[in-house]
Structure 1
Amino acid sequence: MGRRGPKQEVDLVEEDGAGDGASADPPDGDAPGDGAPSGTDAARARRRRATTLGAGLLAVLVLVGVIGQGVVTARERDRLAAVAALRGVLAPLDGPPQVLWTSDEDIPFQVVTSAGHAAGAVEHPDGRVVARAVDLATGRTAWEVDLLTVADGMELPAGVVPVMRGSAYCWPGAPDNRTSDVMLCTAENAVWVEEDGTMRKIAATVSRLVLLDARDGTVVTDLTDEAAAAPVAESSTTLGDLVLLAGRTSDGAQVRAVRRDGSVAWRTTVPAPPPAEPEPGGSPEQLQLIGAGDHAALVTPDAVHLLGATGATVRRTPRAADAWATGSTDGTVVLGTGGAYAPPGDPPQAPASSTFIRPDGAVTRPGEWVWLGVDDGTAPFTALTWDADGLHAWDSDDAPLWTADVRLPREAVALDGLVHLADGTGLLTLDAGTGAEVWRMTALRSDTPLMTDGNVLVVTAGPTLGEDGGTRLVALDRKDGSEVWRAPTPVDVDSLWPVGGVLLGQRWEHDGLDQVVVTALG
């Protein structure tokens, strides 16, 4: 046993102290008496085991932390990439934006193409109307085609001075305003004149309707003759690869679908009353076609007709005489009535309500519809409305989810489980699931859209105490509202809009002829 003791001790020391430079021989005067380690050696061994286990556990925890952080980083990266693909989101901002370019030409931003161009229709003072695409990275015109030439201008009586000649607009050939490589453009040579302090429109004598390839301006289909054929088209939109045209018949309205080769795919007719008599000096209400995902909505004086891809009426929803189509989102068409806010001194309005029309049904909710400028799909509500009682969130079963005390919501952004609102006095952030206030920032101007790059919220503000005058751009952390950066707007602008990842600032110059100067920031 006298020999086993030292061997056990040596084995113990080698196991616990391997590689740490410890001696295998016991210190002088500490030899065991019966083969078991002394109390001192046992304690030392326990400490070594504890140190080894502690170091191993620490390494495991560090590894788990690194892996966990990697997962969070990857998840955040994926989230930002998904948000960046949404319309109206800025490119990532590492700090205050700088001037990219300035142009004294009209920059249309009715359509954003997959090539990163802003495209649309532009009217010239001489009556010429063009479709133009601008490279948002440089400000240079990528392509331009005439919709109406100077020769298409209207002859006016002697002494009549036009305020504006021509009008035009382009719509993306994709649902929900996503980036599009085709666009539908209308143009007409109508003239606006001022008489006795009021504006009067002289009806157009020349109109054009074309489907353009937004990548290079090539005319895919010229629909001008088809739109002029009876019944004359009053409205148009796209539905997949089809262009829809709506015109009045003797007893209702007809919608015809035109293929890109110019042939008619189908026609459908719905009963509808004639429009009400307009007010003196006004124009009769026109039929309205609205794209709504995989459907199109025809708005007649008495109803909204939701049409499918083959022209069949999927749903007919009655429309009150005072209701108007406020827009569409995610395949839903929204009708509004009444008003939630009356300016001081104005007569009170009827209570506001919004009717949401979908293929599977229609539901009317109290309040005006609050449109989301950016929606990443993380909010549990399907719609927001607002009235004198506050901001209402509605769930997928059309039941009220929550109501929050919000005074006057103007812009809303749903991002990462939060909903951010500009309410006329500043910025308010609510939990999208409960409506509870998360943070609030006051003393911020809210006359520009609420903008985001998916990471920070960008707003405008006046100078703080001690600063020179001028508008500031302020970036706020979306989670707690803390200020990330603040800087003067690089140029004087009257408005700011997020378009194709950049900030477009507009400034109007009045020097005989109104002229707009556009500056891109990024």
Structure 2
Amino acid sequence: MDEVELVEDDWVDTAPPRTRPAHHPPRGPVPWRRYARRWWPVPVVVAAAVTLADLGIGTVEQRAYLTAQELPQVAVAVGPDVRAVELENGTRVAWAGREVAGVYLSSSWDDSGAESLVATDPDSDEQLWEAPVVSDFSNGNAFTTTDCWAESGQIACWSAVAVYDTAGTTTLTRARLFQLDPTTGARHDDTPLPAETAVIGTGDHRITATVRDDQRIEVTARTLDGTVRWQAILDPLRDARDVYSPMRLQVVGDAVVVSSDRGAWALDLVDGHTLTFGSSVGPARQDRLAVEGAAGAQVSGPDGRITALGIARRLQLSVDDGSVPQAEFVLDQPHGELSGLDTTTGEPLWSTDTAFRAETSVILLDDLLIGTVPQGVLALDATTGAERWRADVSPSADFSLQPVTDGRHVLVLGDRDEGTEVVALDLRTGTRMWTAPMPPDLRQLAVDQHRLFAFGDRAAYRLS
């Protein structure tokens, strides 16, 4: 029998766990270790390890919390002493970030709507630089759309500026392709593009979509030296919808998605053949694609399997830890029904007439599906649909019960006699753990890169 020596050491690391952005892998086991100085057979060692893992700060709950903290949409832990610090006038809050070429790159907008790219250190959260996307942005009826990716050690970006009128008609005024130095943010290789042109990169090649004179869309994939890998010509669709943004490309798993007012398509990244199409195509869970078109709403999997959604809308998960990976969760608002659909069979996993108020701002964490209902917050078992807990919270405003989480608690804004308060519910039981008073004008909580924010009628706040 294999034998190992275990050495007893009752050292315990009392330092709090360090929160790291989601693009870093977990640092390893929870911070404790115990060993016993004896010769023990391997099976006994394994059993001891499993038992000890559930002791002290090494509990299953603690490990689940540390795993949740790796998700960027999960806030750093807060407690009843949390305070709201008003952001100074002009302070820019960056959103929708991800790691690109070794920096955490986010977009922010000033009061006029002008966009800047903000780079922060992914370990320290220290801002490294800020680069304006468009320096002459002055039209209040205009907006920018920007996508960036890593390419040859640089940050490559496509950006388009569009102007819209009172009827919602959008006109592209300019599109550009440029590069930024990831260390300094210095801009170079700034190249103007035809107005109706979108570009996205994968690191080793670029994909370009351009509207031709005949109104068809030409999509071309080229290596970085300009060699054409494939080309596709897309005819406008009859069920296309007006979209309130420029044409855009997006990489979803092994597909590139083309979105435009002429239709939407998903093309294979390797050879460009059409995987699916409709009036809109976008990312769903687990690299699946959500498609809307003449045949209704459906989800298309990487294996080509189609799951029909009918008239229901997919839940937009603000936090998704990958629980129940085969499931898509859909809300049929007209009938007040919430369902979990098995995308491997197309059959319902479960269905309940206790539906959430909206299909947005729903948390999926540790097999719990958490959203709001008219009288508070509801948690369902994501596998069975069974109610796990329900908490009555009086909302401070229409949108104040959109939940966020720090991995241990579900946080919402509730009403109190003196104004507004943060209400912390235990993630697993719904028990009210604590409350903290807040400025009376707060209406909504939000999380970005583990930072917890609150927004009110007159100001924005950082909660810590």
Q: TM-score, normalised by structure 2?
A: 0.72
**Map of 1:461-480 to 2, 5 A cutoff?**
461-463=414-416, 467-469=417-419, 471-480=420-429
Alpha carbons of structure 1 residues 417 and 207: separation in structure 2 relative to 1, 3 Å: closer
**Map of 1:194-233 to 2, 5 A cutoff?**
198=166, 203-212=171-180, 216-219=184-187, 222=190, 224-225=191-192, 227-228=193-194, 233=196
Query: Is the CA contact (8 Å cut-off) linking 1:336 and 1:353 kept in structure 2?
Result: yes
1:131 aligns to what? 117
Among 289, 308, 316, the alignment partner of 1:371 is 316
State yes or no: 1:440 paired with 2:390.
yes
C-alpha deviation, 1:145, in angstroms: 1.9
Query: Is the CA contact (8 Å cut-off) linking 2:54 and 2:60 kept in structure 1?
Result: no
Please list the CA deviations of residues 289-342 of structure 1 after superposition, one character each: whole Å capped at 9, or x if unmatched. 33212321234678754323334215234x3xxx4335444312212469xxxx
2:255 aligns to what? 295
Query: Is the CA contact (8 Å cut-off) linking 1:381 and 1:393 kept in structure 2?
Result: no
Among 366, 375, 385, the alignment partner of 1:416 is 366
Q: How many residues align?
A: 401
**Map of 1:126-275 to 2, 5 A cutoff?**
129-133=115-119, 142-150=128-136, 164=140, 166-171=142-147, 173=149, 182=155, 184-188=157-161, 190-191=162-163, 198=166, 203-212=171-180, 216-219=184-187, 222=190, 224-225=191-192, 227-228=193-194, 233-249=196-212, 250=214, 252-257=216-221, 263=226, 265-273=228-236
Whole-Å Cα distance in 1 between the matches of residues 329 and 184 of structure 2? 39
Alpha carbons of structure 1 residues 95 and 67: separation in structure 2 relative to 1, 3 Å: same
Query: Is the CA contact (8 Å cut-off) linking 1:129 and 1:149 kept in structure 2?
Result: no
State yes or no: 1:386 paired with 2:331.
yes
Among 248, 262, 272, the alignment partner of 1:312 is 272
State yes or no: 1:87 paired with 2:35.
no
Whole-Å Cα distance in 2 between the matches of residues 215 and 353 of structure 1? 47
Among 503, 512, 518, the alignment partner of 2:452 is 503
Whole-Å Cα distance in 1 between the matches of residues 326 and 145 of structure 2? 33
- SS of residue paired to 1:82: helix
Q: TM-score, normalised by structure 1?
A: 0.65
Query: Is the CA contact (8 Å cut-off) linking 1:130 and 1:146 kept in structure 2?
Result: yes
Query: Is the CA contact (8 Å cut-off) linking 2:265 and 2:275 kept in structure 1?
Result: yes
Alpha carbons of structure 1 residues 330 and 215: separation in structure 2 relative to 1, 3 Å: farther
Please tell me whether Structure 1 or Structure 2 has the larger radius of gyration of its CA atoms: 1
2:406 aligns to what? 453
Query: Is the CA contact (8 Å cut-off) linking 1:353 and 1:365 kept in structure 2?
Result: yes
1:67 aligns to what? 52
C-alpha deviation, 1:144, in angstroms: 1.8
State yes or no: 1:120 paired with 2:114.
no
Letter aligned with residue 340 of structure 2:
A
- SS of residue paired to 1:103: coil
C-alpha deviation, 1:146, in angstroms: 2.9
Whole-Å Cα distance in 1 between the matches of residues 208 and 50 of structure 2? 59
Higher strand share: 2
**Map of 1:289-368 to 2, 5 A cutoff?**
289-299=249-259, 304-313=264-273, 315-317=275-277, 319=278, 323-325=279-281, 327-336=283-292, 353-361=296-304, 362-366=306-310, 367-368=312-313
- SS of residue paired to 2:133: strand
C-alpha deviation, 1:128, in angstroms: 6.0
State yes or no: 1:109 paired with 2:95.
yes
Alpha carbons of structure 1 residues 166 and 363: separation in structure 2 relative to 1, 3 Å: same
Letter aligned with residue 270 of structure 1:
I
Please list the CA deviations of residues 84-136 of structure 1 after superposition, one character each: whole Å capped at 9, or x if unmatched. 222311112243422466232232313244888562143564x8653334689
Query: Is the CA contact (8 Å cut-off) linking 2:197 and 2:247 kept in structure 1?
Result: yes
Query: Is the CA contact (8 Å cut-off) linking 2:158 and 2:199 kept in structure 1?
Result: no
State yes or no: 1:493 paired with 2:437.
no
Whole-Å Cα distance in 2 between the matches of residues 271 and 72 of structure 1? 56
Please list the CA deviations of residues 25-84 of structure 1 after superposition, one character each: whole Å capped at 9, or x if unmatched. xxxxxxxxxxxxxxxxxxxxxxxxxxxxxxxxxxxxxx9997363398254443323222
- SS of residue paired to 1:148: coil
C-alpha deviation, 1:418, in angstroms: 1.6
Alpha carbons of structure 1 residues 262 and 147: separation in structure 2 relative to 1, 3 Å: farther
**Structure 2 stretches of 5 or more lacking a match?**
1-47
Please list the CA deviations of residues 408-462 of structure 1 after superposition, one character each: whole Å capped at 9, or x if unmatched. 3443211112211223442111112211111112344361432111111111111
Whole-Å Cα distance in 2 between the matches of residues 435 and 86 of structure 1? 24
Whole-Å Cα distance in 2 between the matches of residues 293 and 122 of structure 1? 29
Query: Is the CA contact (8 Å cut-off) linking 2:298 and 2:307 kept in structure 1?
Result: yes
After the TM superposition, which of the residue ranges 210-219 and 491-500 deviates more from structure 2?
210-219
